[in-house]
Amino acid sequence: MAMFLASCGSTDGPSVVIQAENFNRGTVTIDKGEHGYGQGIGVILTFKPSAFAEYDIEIPKSTNYSVEIRCASAGPRPVRVLVDGQLVTEHGAEGTTGGFLPEHQKWLEGGVVSLTRGKHMLRLESDGVFPHIDQLRLSATSKAVTTKS
């Protein structure tokens, strides 16, 4: 299934926005409010350590993309970001946003990756627990590709 493609007013070019809960494959839990964390927005979360979520994405233009993760977490819960099996960063969405609720959702960084136009697979994974992720965004950028760390 093709993910929603948004054209965007950014001067850098196109961006792709994905609702985190619309993953194609994964072991994470979807919460649209029944667990008290995703009301009105829909999030993914984990109740046990070690999980993943994968997204089949369509990239509109060959260039570098900044990966951003909209999430809420009271403590650091970094996720590994991979594209087509290649590690982009071990430190995706690292940091804290002040809480786990929809009102605490903030955009955190998930690295920069070079992508060709066409289909790709974005994967988030963690040996621990996930922050409560609402959306993912890939925005065309002139930033350099993240070195693995």
* Closer residue to Ca ion, CB minimum distance, 41 or 115: 41
Least distance to Ca ion, CB of residue 17, Å: 10
15-19/132-141 β-pairing: antiparallel
Least distance to Ca ion, CB of residue 19, Å: 4
Question: For residues 45 and 17, what is the distance between their CA atoms, to the nearest angstrom?
Answer: 19
* Closer residue to Ca ion, CB minimum distance, 4 or 47: 4
Least distance to Ca ion, CB of residue 108, Å: 15
Least distance to Ca ion, CB of residue 41, Å: 5
Q: What residues line the site for Ca ion (CB under 5 A)? A: 19, 41-42, 134
- 74: tokens are 């009271």
Question: For residues 139 and 130, what is the distance between their CA atoms, to the nearest angstrom?
Answer: 22
Q: Are 80 and 110 in contact (CB under 8 A)?
A: no
Which residue type does 10 have?
S
CA distance from start to end of the chain: 32
* Closer residue to Ca ion, CB minimum distance, 59 or 136: 136
Instruction: Tell me the residue nearest to Ca ion as measured from the CB.
Output: 42
* Closer residue to Ca ion, CB minimum distance, 64 or 138: 138
* Closer residue to Ca ion, CB minimum distance, 16 or 41: 41
Least distance to Ca ion, CB of residue 129, Å: 18
Which residue type does 92 have?
G
Q: Which among 87, 72, 62 has a CA at the least distance from the CA of 138?
A: 62
The set of residues, in sequence order, having a beta carbon less than 8 Å from that of 7 and lying 6+ positions away, is 14
